[in-house]
Structure 1
Amino acid sequence: MRKRTLLFSILLLLTACSFNPSPQNTIIDWVDFVKWNDTTYGANYEMNELNKDWETAGEVGEVKYRLDGHAGTNHQTKNGDAAYLSKGTKLFAMKGYDPAFRIIADGKVYEVTESDTAETVGDFLDIEGKVQRVILQSEQDLSFIGEFTDEHAEQLIEELVVMPYEPERRATEGKRVFFGIELVDGTMTRSVYWPETGYVNYGGVASEEVKEIFEAEIGEYDY
């Protein structure tokens, strides 16, 4: 009887261990990101699909820890972490851009998604003097819907770069307006605007002038 009790206890222990989640047996679908210098960057999939050899402008850091296959869901992200880039992967500035906005790693472009230190959106959104046009895009497939007037495009950029960076005020209720800022080098940075709350996905709340610009352009194209 004692042997049976001992065997049953061992089986219970083994069963419990087999259901104990760990980074090795838990599959997590990470977003492709890297964090460096208190800034989180996400892979710019559209640019990376072009398979171009993007010019770099000096090394800025390297990956210290790869989350995929190692970290659990409760991992606290820190500088040097990356979802899929291997430990030791070098991080480079992208030629023509402040590394606070874009960097290159393993031949791919990563664009800022979050900053721990920025006070304004312009602290990382390095687009002044580099904008070709601003466009409205479809919510379904990001296809082209319409182009902002030159005046509105210029005013929008001026307002965006001085917009206070306040991601804690994120409010994403209601209708979404997708827009893209096409740059003179042919690349694009995309964002979303929520008219109901005034929140812009770069991390701030729109000024009255920005709200008026979007209202006019949305009305023009019956968005």
Structure 2
Amino acid sequence: MLKKTMISGMILAFIVLVGCSGEHNEEQAHGNEGNTNIVSRCPDAEISWVDILMINGIKYEGEDEGLSEGETLEKGEQIGEVKFRLAGNACSNHQTKNGDAAFLPVGTEIYKLVGYDTNFRVVAENKVYQVKENKKAKTISELLDIKGKVSKMSIESDHDGSHISDFAEQETLDFIEDFLSLEYIDMDKVNKETSDRRVFLRIHLNDGSSFRIVYWLDGNALSLGAFGTEKMKNIVKNKIDL
């Protein structure tokens, strides 16, 4: 009986040590900025990463091709650099930290994008990354630096992303006015109100760049982390019911 207990204890200890070793090795890799000589058991699963980076407590995303369209990018001062590449290195339980990036190589320099607040957009490897999460923002206007910079809005297919129609100028002005005044909230609350009835909206900026937001009409919820006003909802409903 004592022998069985000792064996069970040894097996449990081995499992715990292996698990801790994986976490420790990932932290070693993070601290050594991608040193390939370090033996790591991460990644521990097949992970489909989104093209993100994090700097100064803000998560940015570069998935939308419209972000880098338009005028030639003008980089400002350097605000940081990539310290850890997630793809191929991070474990499934990794908590994103400043200096992390999904695909950018370690050492990639991150710059301010001239014309925009760094809390909204940054540039890395000649690609624009736009804020995905900023816990310090209280409203959409604090999250998105687009006041006075919107040229138009359009509706896209939620099947293939193709263009369907443009908003009238006054519709765009009315929508954006309410949109920027919205409270920025936790996405967990928004996710509870999502449904299959969604509308893809694209916001076009004066410099030729653009980005997509998703509007779930049934819950009056927006993908950035906000609930719309009745005016916004009616503007969109009128467009898709035409």
Q: TM-score range by the shorter chain?
A: 0.7 to 0.9
| CA–CA separation in structure 2 for the residues paired with 1:69 and 1:44 | 19
| Runs of 4+ with >2 A deviation | 24-29, 47-53
Whichever residue aligns with residue 90 of structure 2, its letter is A
Shift of 1:59: 1.4
| CA–CA separation in structure 2 for the residues paired with 1:187 and 1:63 | 24
Whichever residue aligns with residue 125 of structure 1, its letter is L
Q: Secondary structure at the match of 1:186?
A: coil
Q: Is the 8 A contact 1:191 1:200 kept in 2?
A: yes
The equivalent residue for 1:3 is none
> Relative to 1, partners in 2 of residues 1:26 and 1:169: Cα closer, same or farther, differing over 3 Å?
closer
Q: Is the 8 A contact 1:174 1:196 kept in 2?
A: no
The equivalent residue for 1:8 is none
Q: Secondary structure at the match of 1:34?
A: strand
Offset from partner CA, 1:52-87 (integer Å, 9 cap, x none): 852112112222221122210000112221111122
Does residue 181 (structure 1) correspond to residue 200 (structure 2)? The answer is: no
Give the total of aligned pairs: 203
| CA–CA separation in structure 1 for the residues paired with 2:158 and 2:109 | 35
Offset from partner CA, 1:79-103 (integer Å, 9 cap, x none): 2211111222211111111111111
Whichever residue aligns with residue 188 of structure 1, its letter is S
In the TM superposition, what are the counterparts of 1:65-214 in structure 2 within 5 Å? 65-166=84-185, 167-170=187-190, 171-214=193-236
The equivalent residue for 2:53 is 34
With 40-49 and 26-35 compared, the bigger mean Cα shift is at: 40-49
Shift of 1:124: 2.0
Shift of 1:188: 0.6
Shift of 1:135: 0.4
> Relative to 1, partners in 2 of residues 1:24 and 1:194: Cα closer, same or farther, differing over 3 Å?
closer
Q: Secondary structure at the match of 1:54?
A: coil
**Kindly, what percent of the aligned residue pairs are identical?**
36
Is there any run of 5+ residues in structure 1 with no aligned partner, and where?
1-12
RMSD between superposed Cα atoms in Å: 2.3
Shift of 1:174: 2.9
Whichever residue aligns with residue 191 of structure 1, its letter is I
> Relative to 1, partners in 2 of residues 1:216 and 1:62: Cα closer, same or farther, differing over 3 Å?
same
Q: Secondary structure at the match of 1:110?
A: strand
> Relative to 1, partners in 2 of residues 1:125 and 1:50: Cα closer, same or farther, differing over 3 Å?
closer
Is there any run of 5+ residues in structure 2 with no aligned partner, and where?
1-13, 23-40
Q: Secondary structure at the match of 2:241?
A: helix
